[in-house]
Structure 1
C-alpha cells in the first residue's frame, strides 16, 4: 500500500513513452488548461454573455482564435520571463533556451513563469483587440473568470512533475518529493496553490462574472486576489530563486507585490475616471 506521504515518489511524471518520445503529465496539464477555458467560454457564449453584458459581437470561432493566441502568448511570455530571471544558467546553457529536447529526448520546455505568462497574455490580448478593433477591457473581463480554473491544472502539473514543492514541515499531510535532494517531508505547496489560486479565485470571479458593477472590475480584482494569495503562498514554497531587500522578500513575493499594486492602480484609475471607464480600451 502506498503511504500518503510518499505519493509523489510513486507518480511517474511520464504519461506515455514511445520510441524515445516522452509525453509528460506536465505537458498534458497545459492541454487541460486550454480545454477547460474553452469549455467555460463556450458555456458563456451559449448564454450570450458576451453580447448581453460586454457588448462583444464575436462568434465562437473568433473567440477560439483569440484564446489560441492568448495561450501561445502566455506560453511565450512565461518562457521569456523565466529565462530573464535565470540569465546566468541560460548563458551557460544556451541550447536549452527554447529546445524541448534533453539528451536526445523530447521533454518539453522546462521552466515557466506565471507572471511572465500573464504579461504575455495581456500584451497579446491588447494587440489582438487593436487589430480587431474591439474593447480590450471588455474582452479581458469577459474571458478572465474562466482562467483560474485552467490555472488549477497547471499547478497539478507541477505536483505530478515533482517540482516547486514546499518547505520542510512535520505536518501530517507533508509529502516526500522525488526531486528533493534532502528527501524530507515538505508542504505540498503545489496543491495549496491549485486550490487557492485556482479554485478559490475561480469561484470568486465566476460568481461575479455578470454582476452589473463588478463585471467590469474582473481584471484588477484578479490581480489583487492573485497577488495577495501568491504572496502568502511564498511562505510555504521552497525558495529556489533567491531573496531581495536583505532577505525579507522572495522573488515571488516581490512580483506578487507588483501584481497587487498594478491591480490597485487600475481600480484607482477607474475610480477617478468613472465617467469614461475606457482604460486601455
Structure 2
C-alpha cells in the first residue's frame, strides 16, 4: 500500500461534550462540533465586515465622482444576519438532501433535521437560501437587492473558507485517489486510499482566492459603485473554481451511470452560476447597473 500523509485524524470533530444527563426520563448530551463553529465564525465575521462596508460611503462612490451615501446601515445588516443564518442553514441542508440524498425524504425523514450536526450541507442550496433571505430583507427594508448582494459577495468567501476547513476536520468530501506527494489518508475512508485533500483545495480557491478577487475589486477598483459587479464576480469565480475542483473530488455515486466519471452534480449546479455571473459582470461593466431590483 502506498504511503501517504495521514489527515488530521487526531483533531476530534467534537470540541467538547456536555452530558449525558437525564431529561424527562431520556438521556441527552450536547456536542459542540468544529462544523458548527465554522458556520458561527463565518456569520459573525461576515456580519462585522458588512457593517464596516456600510460605514464607508467612499467605497460606494465611483473614482472621481461625488461621494454617495451608503445604501444600507448597521440596523439593516443586523436584520440581514438573522435571516441569512436561517437561509444558509435551511437552504444548505435542504439542498444537500435534494441534490445528494433525496432518498432520505422517504427512508429517514427525521435524519434530515437530526443529522445536520454531523455535516451534510450543500453550498448551492445554501446559496439559494441566502439569496431568498437577501431578496426578502431588501424588499422589507426598501433596499436595493444588488447593493445588498454585492456586499454579501465580499464577505461570503469567509464562511466558505471556514466551512471547507471543517469538512477537512470531519474527514468528509475527500478527493479522488491520488499519488501526489501531499496525498492524504482519511480515517473515515473505508477504502483507506491515498487521496487528494480536496477540502483544502476548496478552502484555498473558494475561500481565499475568491475573497482576494472580490475584495481587490471592492477596495482597489470600487466595484460596489457598479451594482451587480461583485455578485457577478463571486458567482463566476465560484462556478469556475468548483467545476475545476470537481475533477479531483470523489465522484458522486448517485449520478446516472452514463455520466459517472465525466460529469458531477457539482459541475451541473455550477453551470448556471457561471452563466449568470458572466452576464452580471458584463452588464455591470457595460452599463454601470444591471436590471433594477
Secondary structure of the equivalent of 1:22? strand
| Aligned counterpart, 2:113 | 98
Deviations 1:40-95 (CA, angstroms, capped at 9, x unpaired)? 22332343457657744533132122122112112111111112122113311111
Gaps of 5+ in 1: 101-106
The yes-or-no answer on 1:221 pairing with 2:236 is no
Asked whether the 8 Å contact 1:193–1:233 carries over to 2, the reply is yes
The yes-or-no answer on 1:71 pairing with 2:85 is yes
Shift of 1:201: 0.5
| Aligned counterpart, 1:163 | 172
| Aligned counterpart, 1:137 | 146
| Aligned counterpart, 1:239 | 251
Asked whether the 8 Å contact 2:35–2:119 carries over to 1, the reply is no
Q: TM-score, normalised by structure 2?
A: 0.84
Secondary structure of the equivalent of 2:31? strand
| Distance change in 2, residues 1:18/1:4 (3 Å) | farther
Asked whether the 8 Å contact 1:166–1:237 carries over to 2, the reply is yes
Aligned residues: 271
| Distance change in 2, residues 1:246/1:143 (3 Å) | closer
| Partner Cα separation in structure 2 for residue 70 and residue 64 of structure 1 | 10
| Distance change in 2, residues 1:7/1:82 (3 Å) | closer
Asked whether the 8 Å contact 1:270–1:279 carries over to 2, the reply is no
| Aligned counterpart, 2:9 | 9
Q: TM-score, normalised by structure 1?
A: 0.87
CA RMSD of aligned residues (A): 2.4
Secondary structure of the equivalent of 2:46? helix
Asked whether the 8 Å contact 1:241–1:251 carries over to 2, the reply is no
| Aligned counterpart, 2:47 | 38
| Distance change in 2, residues 1:262/1:136 (3 Å) | same
| Distance change in 2, residues 1:241/1:220 (3 Å) | farther
| Partner Cα separation in structure 1 for residue 118 and residue 70 of structure 2 | 35
Asked whether the 8 Å contact 1:8–1:175 carries over to 2, the reply is no
Secondary structure of the equivalent of 1:153? helix
| Aligned counterpart, 1:186 | 195
205, 212, 219: which is aligned to 2:214?
Answer: 205
Deviations 1:221-275 (CA, angstroms, capped at 9, x unpaired)? 1111111000000011112343356332111111111211121233455577x27
Asked whether the 8 Å contact 2:183–2:195 carries over to 1, the reply is yes
